[in-house]
Homo-oligomer: A and B are copies of this chain.
Amino acid sequence: MNDTARTRTALPVFDDVLAAAARIAPHAHVTPVLRSHSIDAIAGCELHFKAEHLQRAGAFKFRGACNAVWSLSDEDAARGVVTHSSGNHGAALALAARTRGIACHVVVPEGAVAAKLAAIEAYGATLHRCAPTIAAREIRCAQLQAETGAELVHPYTDPRVIAGQGTAALELLSDATPFDALVVPVGGGGLASGTALAVAACSPRTRLHLAEPSGAAETWASMQRGERVTEFTPDTICDGLRGTLGEPNFALLHAHGARVLKVDDADTVAAMRLFWQRTKQIVEPSSAVALAAVLGNRETFDGQRVGIVLSGGNVDPDALPELFARG
């Protein structure tokens, strides 16, 4: 097994997070940590928001994508990268590829939101449309890999991606005073498992909580059962959290003993509205779910110092009526 193959299959470790931090430093923003005294008063605890909605391409996803792209040898990089995602990962990988001047292919399902596809194209990626099924997009990805030799960068199971996502928590935890708790959203588990690596190494007494929509709570079910649950039909407005928890992601999260807090969409919308009003910052539902988890579990966080990773801010203004109707 050569180094690249090992990288693609082994579980990442904390050293990979440190290496990712150094690798992405020339390209990614060190995002600010925001405070709101009025939200603290409502929550009954001290909240520190890691503002990944201000990350390049509008989400933490750029960290993992950038780490994957800059982990490639020059030879591999020359053949480009490929992924399937019509959301934040597609845009993030497109921008990451541009930082290295290499090709990026993004497989997108028919019917994906036009504005999101336009964003991916604006970063210079080539779109490849396929039928809106998992089988169709995996076949199309495999075809593109065969045709171009491009490297597949999976949105959340790729160890380079997991390590990259862990750098957000690494920055947050570098604050002077230790956190009692960290709360991050969980979907496929890239951010969550990368955060677990950072917490375990930098601040083992900090409790890691995962915020998950009630309508896509297979991570909660997986942690309850102690094995990965993959059978579920997501029903949530948190479009970034509809994916199925990945295998390496489950392995890392289960080993870490992360707790899952389920959140109803209505509470997520209420938290998003509150955050918008008090901070004038646009975060997407998949981020607001973490604040909602804190607001809905006061006894768990009462008086604590809590870090929240605001994962992204890519909300389509035209989607607002539908979003607020759910709140």
Q: Which A residues have a C-beta under 8 Å from some C-beta of B?
A: 53-54, 58, 273, 276-277, 280-283, 313, 317-318, 320-321, 324
A84 to chain B: closest CB distance in Å?
Answer: 24
Sample 6 A-B pairs with CB under 8 A, ordered by A number.
A54-B280, A273-B317, A276-B317, A281-B282, A317-B320, A320-B321
Given A281-B282, A321-B324, 6 additional A-B pairs, CB 8 A: A54-B280, A273-B317, A281-B281, A282-B282, A317-B320, A318-B324
Q: Which of A53, A280, A317, A320 has the most CB of B within 10 A?
A: A280
A229 to chain B: closest CB distance in Å?
Answer: 33
Q: Is the CB of B54 within 8 A of A277?
A: no
CB-contact partner of A280 in B53, B318, B324, under 8 A: B53
Q: Taking CB as reference atom, which chain B residue is nearest A274?
A: B317
Q: Using Cβ atoms and an 8 Å threshold, which residues of chain B touch A282?
A: 276, 280-282
Q: Is the CB of B313 within 8 A of A324?
A: no
The CA-CA distance from A324 to B277 in the complex, in Å, is 17
Q: Is the interface of A mostly helix, strand, loop or mixed?
A: helix
Q: Taking CB as reference atom, which chain B residue is nearest A327?
A: B317
Q: Using Cβ atoms and an 8 Å threshold, which residues of chain B touch A54?
A: 280
Query: Are A280 and B277 CB-contacts (below 8 A) given A317-B324, A324-B320?
Result: no
The CA-CA distance from A280 to B280 in the complex, in Å, is 8
Q: Using Cβ atoms and an 8 Å threshold, which residues of chain B touch A280?
A: 53-54, 58, 281-283, 313
The CA-CA distance from A301 to B95 in the complex, in Å, is 29
A326 to chain B: closest CB distance in Å?
Answer: 12
The CA-CA distance from A317 to B317 in the complex, in Å, is 11
Considering the complex of A and B, which 3 residue pairs feature the smallest CB-CB distances, nearest first? Answer: A280-B313, A321-B321, A280-B282
The CA-CA distance from A58 to B280 in the complex, in Å, is 8
The CA-CA distance from A283 to B283 in the complex, in Å, is 14
Q: Using Cβ atoms and an 8 Å threshold, which residues of chain B touch A318?
A: 324
The CA-CA distance from A282 to B276 in the complex, in Å, is 7
Q: Using Cβ atoms and an 8 Å threshold, which residues of chain B touch A313?
A: 280
Q: Taking CB as reference atom, which chain B residue is nearest A282?
A: B280
The CA-CA distance from A321 to B280 in the complex, in Å, is 16
The CA-CA distance from A313 to B278 in the complex, in Å, is 10
